[in-house]
Structure 1
Amino acid sequence: MRGLRRLAPHAALLPLAVVTLGAYLGTVLWTLRTSFTSARSFPSDVFVGFLQYQRLFDNERWLVSLDHLALYGVLFIAACLLLGFLLAVLVDQNLRAEGLLRTVFLYPYAMSFVAAGLVWQWMFNPEMGIGLDWLVDETMVIPALVLATTWQSSGLVMAILLAGLRGIDPDLRKAARLDGVPAWRFYLSVALPQLGPAVASAFLILATGVVKLFDPVVAMTGGGPGMASEVPAKFIMDHLFGRANLGLASAGAVMLLVPVLALLLPFALLRRERA
């Protein structure tokens, strides 16, 4: 009877596991297979080897999109981690309005990325918004995307780092006060080194979000002006639905999966070793 009771929770989760494996692993394998075929509007059984990948990296638009994604990723992750840490330190001061502040800072993350993108599109409208025409300036469109998405995502980083700050031994805080250590020095020299797991978690979430960047670009710029804000996810969607090139789009999707796996696998192995 005890053995059956132990198996009952696993049996209850079995349908969910089967659906998850079928929906995720199955589609990944199907996409991988399709990337080696000559599929256009419909799937094909004609295998062409790595031809689609060769075409992908011979495509100037794809290479430009990778450059934009790298620049955006560095700026976005750095800005979110910095602003999220500063907000976490602010909320950690035991303010009376702590609950309100946490709600205000987290609220943008609860918004749809499309809705947030449209809000910032209006904000950057020279006639209706704050008077900046960054969305039509090829040199400023990426910083504009960084600004909009940092505003939306930094609240999540704040929540993660705040949880880490609240997990620090209170005796360390008391000792720092007794020694006359300034608050800024405590957070930089004592608290920050202990936030490694929290920072790693925030970095992983932000990095996977960078790879998937699509909605804010479509809502704010549509990839323009010209190709100034073109990103890989938009390249894939355009070739999948707009240019009826299923094989090339699948090759692009597989290439986007590579950095995600490169981020997730070391993180999963590290957690497994600690467990």
Structure 2
Amino acid sequence: MSQSSLRVEPAPHPRGGAGRFGRGRSGLGRHAPAWLAISPSLLAILIFVYGFALWTAYVSLSASRMVPDFALVGLRNYERMWGQDRWLVAAGNLVTFTALYVVVTLAVGLLIAILLDQKVRGETPLRTIFLYPAAVSLIVTGIAWKWLLNPGTGVEAFMRSAGWEGFAFDWIIRSETVIYAIVVAAVWQQAGFVSVLFLAALRGVDGEMVKAARLDGAGPIRTYWSVIIPAIRPAFISAGVLLVAFALKTFDLVVAMTAQGPGYASALPSTFVYDMAFQRNQLGMAAAGAISILVFAAIIVLPYVVWEFRKSDAR
């Protein structure tokens, strides 16, 4: 049989039609099933996140009290809010709480992760023990630490019963130190979770870099400080963002632990918003407080976002 008599039939297109017809479909057509699948989530986000945020901003500019009032009053609610000592205390507490909580939790979590990274015996049960507080409800955490820090029933009473008559640990009942008591409880709650993030990052560090640092004569501390910790910077960023988000929305812990007391010395913006909306019938001022929390979050997050975009463009 001669070669001229042989014919090669074109392979059918896998979609059943000619290849040129399949390639002719638009990008929108190819991704239509994916857009259809995620459209309910996108719609929910548009309505319940961005839509409600815009609605809250509008209410903050209105004369709303017990019920929404659509008459606009400009920035009057913000002026009244910033003129209240309760809000000033809450805003100051938020700055103090966020700074101490994030820094101390990152430091404690990193220390635990480094200790566990030494391949200690019983690492698995230790990880479970350290991670356990993160699974505990914030209400339970607040009540437990309320008992522990109460001078009549907690650490102070135990130490005095053991013979240390002059021992004092009454942070929770003093207005100038109560916010630090809340920081202690919050760090206990999340340090284990952060340590797990750091431990996973430590286990992913390139071992060749560590060996090279040791061959250059770097000791353990210098190796961690100059090689390993810079290599896990993404873990620091992820943990920091999560901790800041938790700090901004902290509510349950304060209510269960101190009920904003003594007086309102441990109030936070979240508890202020709740009081204005459900206790004092000041819906417009509550909305102003909620928008202020959003602004606080933007002030913290936006510089990092801009920095990341500039770094990506530089690459």
Deviation at 1:145, TM superposition (A): 0.6
Equivalent pairs counted in the alignment come to 275
Where does 1:264-275 land on structure 2 (aligned, <5 Å)?
264-270=301-307, 274=312
Which residue, 148, 168, 175 being the options, matches 2:205?
A: 168
Indicate if the aligned counterparts of 1:204 and 1:263 stay in contact, CA closer than 8 A. Answer: no
Report the 3-state secondary structure (helix = DSSP H, G, I; strand = E; otherwise coil) of the residue aligned with 2:31: helix
> Is the CA contact 2:133–2:190 (under 8 Å) kept in the aligned structure 1?
yes
Superposition deviation, residue 144 in structure 1:
0.8
**Matched residue, 1:15:** 40
* Alignment deviations for residues 151-205 of structure 1 (CA, whole Å, 9 cap, x no partner): 0111222122222222211112223344453222211121112222211221111
SS in structure 1 at match of 2:199: helix
Unpaired segments of 5 or more residues in structure 2?
1-14, 16-21, 157-168
Larger mean CA deviation between 218-227 and 240-249 belongs to 218-227
Q: In 1, Cα distance between the equivalents of 2:32 and 2:175?
A: 59
1:49-73 deviations in Å (ceiling 9; x for gaps): 1111111111111111111111122
The answer (yes or no) to whether the contact 2:210–2:228 under 8 Å persists in 1 is no
Question: Does the Cα contact within 8 Å between 2:198 and 2:235 map onto a contact in 1?
Answer: yes
What SS does the corresponding residue of 2:100 show, helix, strand or coil? helix
Q: 183-192 vs 26-35, which deviates more?
A: 183-192
- State the SS of the aligned residue for 2:267: coil
**Following the alignment from structure 1 to structure 2, what is the Cα–Cα distance between the partners of residues 183 and 274?**
33
Match of 1:113 among 133, 138, 162: 138
Q: Distance in 2 between matches of 1:110 and 1:269?
A: 34
Q: CA RMSD in A?
A: 1.9
- In the other structure, the counterpart of 2:11 is none
Q: Which amino acid aligns with 1:147?
A: V
1:246 equivalent in structure 2: 283
* Structure 1, unpaired ranges of 5+: none
Q: Which has the larger radius of gyration?
A: 2
SS of alignment partner, residue 147 of structure 1: helix
Aligned equivalents of 2:191 and 2:100: distance in 1?
13
1:64 aligns with 2:98: no
Does structure 1 conserve the Cα–Cα contact (< 8 Å) formed by 2:63 and 2:69? yes
Q: In structure 2, the residue corresponding to 1:143 is in which secondary structure?
A: helix
**Aligned residue in 1 for 2:150:** 125
Does structure 2 retain, via aligned residues, the 8 Å contact 1:91–1:98? yes
Q: Which residue of 52, 65, 74 maps to 2:99?
A: 74
**Structure 2 residue matching 1:157: 3-state secondary structure:** helix
Greater shift in the superposed pair: 77-86 or 167-176 = 167-176
**1:185 alignment partner in structure 2:** 222
Given that 2:273 and 2:289 are in contact with CA atoms closer than 8 Å, whether structure 1 keeps it comes out as yes
Q: Cα deviation per residue 1:217-270 (whole Å; 9 max; x = unaligned)?
A: 101101111222111111110010000000000001000001212333344455
- Residue 274 of structure 1 deviates from its aligned partner by 3.4
Say if 2:226 is the partner of 1:201. no
Deviation at 1:45, TM superposition (A): 1.1
Which one is further off, 180-189 or 65-74? Answer: 180-189
Of 176, 180, 185, 1:148 maps to 185
